[in-house]
Structure 1
């Protein structure tokens, strides 16, 4: 397999609004990130992925952009960004920007012009259609954030498409002028010296021009995904993007591709396709609830193993995996996949990190994951800020599908706001995040879980992540080795073997709060196997063949 820097890198995602506030307004900013670069360097990461920093009215916390070439006022200035980029590079850290080009804000100048009249030169920058009839939208598509995916604009009497919020109108990628504008903007950032893009919902940029009705499933609205996800020209557009922008620089590119299959992922990220380096799939983090996303049940380990192993095995040598447990759109990993009780939080956080970072692909750490930060104990609806969570509560309780109590339980488990509470730096006011009042409440457990405390403890979750990152840099088998799932039907243990030439790795992870029995494979039983990392005070006892609750260990052996 061809070696690339982005395959060997470890990425750290920052949600700027919640990372570090430098000016006391309660909102994180670019100067705050720059102040914490020493922390990130000590952790050992190679790349920072910044969630959107562009000018935005914040209907969807920055994913509704009104000016792609200006920094959001709350985050600072373009000079602040330039200073951050320079300081990051001086510390050996690359910067990945979030690219949001499926839609803009309804306050973007293009849309303000577009809605003025049917004849406006910018009209075709967006997707405008006549309704089917009086008060009836062009089709039955539902928005990802609830309600219809169409909004009637009174001024011209036509509807515009918004697959997300009504304040996030979808761009019309069929229009060559739109693509030219987007590519010019991307090139402008590349010339500034950024190191790549994470591309938001990039699989949705191409729509079936016929815009047919979608299948209705227990709802008022139809499913748009067969006609607007992996649409007819998405690969044409991405090849054009690669040719005109991406291929001119040594970039890291990752596409957010909801609903992607392994086969489709090869088209996006295959080495010979000339589109992207890798994609994010969602199979292991979505669709496991009574109401798709909304559930308060623990994930099923057999399903999890089956999904992750299929991606490990079937992408092959031609494409590349993105490895993650959580991000700005997902709840905290230790609360979801591990055990956030005081008894097992640390060992289960370390176990999850072991399981993920020993797989083949590029690992992504979401801010605070390296501390074992947990979900927030929400008790009131007023504590939420997330548009998706608030809309889901209104829609599901309003239709009588879920009670208030049950929906609050779902939100505590799955709301995106769990990931967006402020970074917990120390046990001082506002967890060291801000000298003002944070825009969203700090998790009350910050006095127990914070960076200052973990930096001082060599056995902390933070230092465990440091060890994992160092191992990845020292053992190429962790990056490039093949993957083989073992103990496939075990309901407690996730175990797999990595192979590269004469080297072998055995990864053992107990996903339960009970002891679990196992038998060590040949080649890992005797003195020839070295235990590289373990999350208890000593490695598992090979003779007993048991893993303690949430225990993890990695063994290395070389075939003589």
Structure 2
């Protein structure tokens, strides 16, 4: 079935790091508006805007103190309205980040409506259970006024909302309706799989210093009931796009969240291919590469098992992930460009809606800052202190992990040009700019016809031209290979074969020589060797079955 969000390409903007228009070192809404023509040139259809609401910024805006105000450092509601208008003039839709698993502890609800949050009595003079927070430390904080503990799966300044409370749910639905009536085009829903908790609140299996809360807060007993209610009362009344960040989701759960006829969401983000595979040192932290067979097996599973049942989100990085070319490709000067193009080909030719994270279209890399003082992310800083102080990891190993997968790798300022601070700001940026901006920036990319930017533009244009890229059935190929990711898409009399070399070595591959004809849709090399893939080579070739 044709739906606009299936045929779209989404571009995520992390406002704090995108473009600063007033020199205070912090990105803002006017800065976004000033660069809409850049995004129009790229060809994207939708902007996913990370939170711009009023916030104390304990977690860079994912701690909201007022859902219907704009954070003062980002601008005003009038500036937001102008950005929305200018985006729509360019046929670009705006999808807002909706954070309703938790608020800031500075939200008026926390003071005026404690029943909107999750409170428990002490147990044996300590926290109600052994759960640990995602950001380090216990998941419970004591409040003297209430003489109880409140739950926060993230920072203590991010108390979890009590979705069991009907009045709270109605307040959330009214707020969502207010935004949709303003004209936005949908919601990306932060950790939406966590809104229903196991009401027994049992201890979790120890993972380091604390118990694992995930089995009791992800895909909880009433989550689908709540989302069906949200859909009925709000979402179904608008032609919008909805995507849920579904931490801990499984294939079967995803079919419920994003099923063609389940009346919940359009699609979900799952995390198996970016978090759950590969060797870990402690918790989520690692400095080890991801083996291609594991990555391929995971992505193929989601492609195959959601076919005809639910819709996929396609991504390798976002504001919570390291840079894709650094994590999955090769960000050395020799291979950065070609491997970034290869990764883009691999993801954009799959079935689902592709997401581009700001700077991905330039091949921006991890920051590799050497000192913990250079990092700003609350999760990174807390993990560094907790693990090192308790002797769970050496400082050197932890810094290597942070350089490999730390969230700040994605949050360094957008690299616009060669001027000071990469053209992001005339002031002092809130986090340091990646020093490689002199060689990696938008201004240079727009001048270079063979740049990563124009490769992404070509991928986006191909998606609009060839329905097989959107709707074709996915079939894996060469699954025994440790160096090649290959698959085909099938639709009617057409087959699209996609082959990607994930190594810096030439490798044998005869897929394209096994059949005559075929039209090359895209490749990151201008010339090819017969039966050989060059380092990080990607090719997509369209065949007519009758040929």
Provide TM-score, normalisation by structure 1. 0.96
Provide the rounded CA distance (Å) in 1 between the counterparts of 2:536 and 2:390: 40
Provide the rounded CA distance (Å) in 2 between the counterparts of 1:220 and 1:520: 50
Given the alignment of the two structures, is residue 252 of structure 1 paired with residue 241 of structure 2, yes or no? yes
Aligned to 2:2: 3
Aligned to 1:389: 380
Provide the rounded CA distance (Å) in 2 between the counterparts of 1:315 and 1:156: 46
Aligned to 1:551: 537
Select which of 143, 150, 153 maps to 1:163.
153
Q: What do residues 446-502 of structure 1 show as CA deviations (whole Å, max 9, x unaligned)? A: 010000001000000000000000000000000000111111011110000110000
Aligned to 2:77: 78
Provide the rounded CA distance (Å) in 2 between the counterparts of 1:38 and 1:380: 37
Matched position secondary structure for 2:444 = helix
Aligned to 2:14: 15
Matched position secondary structure for 1:255 = strand
Quote the offset at 1:292 in angstroms. 4.0
Q: What do residues 29-65 of structure 1 show as CA deviations (whole Å, max 9, x unaligned)? A: 0000000000000000000000000000000000000
Aligned to 2:133: 143
Given the alignment of the two structures, is residue 342 of structure 1 paired with residue 333 of structure 2, yes or no? yes
Aligned to 2:232: 243
Given the alignment of the two structures, is residue 208 of structure 1 paired with residue 191 of structure 2, yes or no? no
CA contact (8 A) 1:14 1:50 kept: yes
CA contact (8 A) 2:512 2:531 kept: no
- Higher deviation after alignment, 291-300 or 479-488: 291-300
Structure 1: state its 5+ residue gaps.
Answer: 114-121
Provide the rounded CA distance (Å) in 1 between the counterparts of 2:371 and 2:511: 48
CA contact (8 A) 2:315 2:356 kept: yes
Residues 17-166 of structure 1 aligned to structure 2 (within 5 Å) = 17-113=16-112, 122-134=113-125, 136-166=126-156
Aligned to 1:529: 518
Aligned to 1:408: 399
Provide the rounded CA distance (Å) in 2 between the counterparts of 1:76 and 1:263: 41
Residues 495-506 of structure 1 aligned to structure 2 (within 5 Å) = 495-506=486-497
CA contact (8 A) 2:311 2:352 kept: yes
Q: What do residues 363-405 of structure 1 show as CA deviations (whole Å, max 9, x unaligned)? A: 0000000000000021111100000000110111112111111
Aligned Cα root-mean-square deviation (Å): 0.9
Aligned to 1:507: 498
Select which of 231, 236, 251 maps to 1:262.
251
CA contact (8 A) 1:286 1:292 kept: no
Select which of 165, 176, 194 maps to 1:186.
176
Quote the offset at 1:133 in angstroms. 2.4
Provide the rounded CA distance (Å) in 1 between the counterparts of 2:482 and 2:362: 27
Aligned to 2:463: 472
Matched position secondary structure for 1:284 = helix
Provide the rounded CA distance (Å) in 1 between the counterparts of 2:61 and 2:178: 20
Q: What do residues 89-110 of structure 1 show as CA deviations (whole Å, max 9, x unaligned)? A: 0000000000000000000000
Provide the rounded CA distance (Å) in 1 between the counterparts of 2:209 and 2:526: 55
Q: What do residues 531-551 of structure 1 show as CA deviations (whole Å, max 9, x unaligned)? A: 11110122x33xx31101101
Provide the rounded CA distance (Å) in 1 between the counterparts of 2:419 and 2:384: 33
Matched position secondary structure for 1:151 = strand
Quote the offset at 1:293 in angstroms. 2.0
Given the alignment of the two structures, is residue 361 of structure 1 paired with residue 347 of structure 2, yes or no? no
Q: What do residues 264-292 of structure 1 show as CA deviations (whole Å, max 9, x unaligned)? A: 10000001100000000000000332224
- Higher deviation after alignment, 416-425 or 393-402: 393-402
Matched position secondary structure for 2:184 = coil
Given the alignment of the two structures, is residue 279 of structure 1 paired with residue 245 of structure 2, yes or no? no
Provide the rounded CA distance (Å) in 2 between the counterparts of 1:3 and 1:156: 52
Provide the rounded CA distance (Å) in 1 between the counterparts of 2:387 and 2:473: 44
Matched position secondary structure for 2:272 = coil
Q: What do residues 308-343 of structure 1 show as CA deviations (whole Å, max 9, x unaligned)? A: 000001002121000001000000000000000000
Quote the offset at 1:518 in angstroms. 1.2
Provide TM-score, normalisation by structure 2. 0.98
Provide the rounded CA distance (Å) in 2 between the counterparts of 1:99 and 1:521: 45
CA contact (8 A) 1:268 1:275 kept: yes
Select which of 408, 426, 432 maps to 1:417.
408
Matched position secondary structure for 2:205 = coil
Matched position secondary structure for 1:12 = strand
Q: For residues 208 and 500 of structure 1, do their structure 2 counterparts lie closer, same or farther at Cα, with a shift above 3 Å needed?
A: same
Select which of 299, 317, 324 maps to 2:290.
299
Structure 2: state its 5+ residue gaps.
Answer: none
Quote the offset at 1:521 in angstroms. 5.8
Matched position secondary structure for 2:338 = helix
Matched position secondary structure for 1:141 = coil
Matched position secondary structure for 2:211 = coil
Q: What do residues 388-427 of structure 1 show as CA deviations (whole Å, max 9, x unaligned)? A: 0001101111121111111111100111000000000000
Provide the rounded CA distance (Å) in 1 between the counterparts of 2:108 and 2:243: 28
- Higher deviation after alignment, 291-300 or 495-504: 291-300
CA contact (8 A) 1:514 1:548 kept: yes
Matched position secondary structure for 2:206 = coil
